[in-house]
């Protein structure tokens, strides 16, 4: 007889890395950290299966922020890109810092 301990299995990593969501008029976006402890990047995803990568922000720990846009999303107008970045940062840092006094801009 084989016995497995479910207690030793941690939570689903994809679920525990999700920081939250935001919406526009058409879809919902999920912000997901690269790791649970001191993530250096996060991604914004959408789609029915959560497999459409909208944006990846890297360089969080170094402060050398870089925005890399998904193939379809790279064609967004500049003001739409700024909106997505701002929403993503608000969700990522919610309950971690005072986002009202923190503004971040990314190259890319």
Does residue 90 sit within a domain? yes
Per-residue pLDDT, 97: 55
pTM: 0.73
Does residue 105 sit within a domain? no
Does residue 103 sit within a domain? no
Residues 36/17, Cβ–Cβ less than 8 Å: yes
Does residue 20 sit within a domain? yes
Q: What is the mean pLDDT of residues 98-106?
A: 51
Query: Which residues constitute the domain of residue 23?
Result: 9-95
Does residue 66 sit within a domain? yes
Q: Which residue has the higher pLDDT, 101 or 60?
A: 60
Measure CA 98 to chain center: 18
Per-residue pLDDT, 8: 43
Does residue 14 sit within a domain? yes
Per-residue pLDDT, 89: 96
Confidence at 37, pLDDT banded by 50, 70, 90? confident
Number of domains the chain contains? 1
Q: Using one digit for the tens of pLDDT, what is the confidence trace for 16-33?
A: 799 999 999 999 999 999
Does residue 30 sit within a domain? yes
DSSP structural state of residue 101: G
- DSSP-assigned letters across all residues of 1-66: -----GGGS---HHHHHEEEEEE-SS-EEEEEES-SSS-SEEEEEESTTS-EEEEEEE-TTTS--E
**SS3 of residue 68 by DSSP:** strand
Confidence at 63, pLDDT banded by 50, 70, 90? very high
Both tokens assigned to 28: 């919902």
Does residue 107 sit within a domain? no
Residues 94/102, Cβ–Cβ less than 8 Å: no
């Amino acid at each position: 007889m084989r016995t497995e301990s479910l207690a030793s299995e941690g939570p689903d990593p994809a679920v525990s890395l999700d920081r939250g969501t935001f919406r526009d008029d058409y879809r919902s976006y999920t912000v997901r950290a690269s790791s649970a402890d001191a993530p250096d990047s996060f991604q914004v995803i959408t789609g029915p299966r959560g497999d459409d990568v909208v944006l990846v922000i890297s360089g969080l720990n170094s402060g050398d922020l870089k925005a890399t846009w998904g193939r379809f999303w790279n064609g967004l107008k500049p003001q739409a890109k700024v909106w997505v970045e701002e929403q993503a940062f608000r969700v990522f840092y919610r309950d971690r810092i005072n986002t009202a006094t923190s503004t971040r801009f990314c190259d890319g």
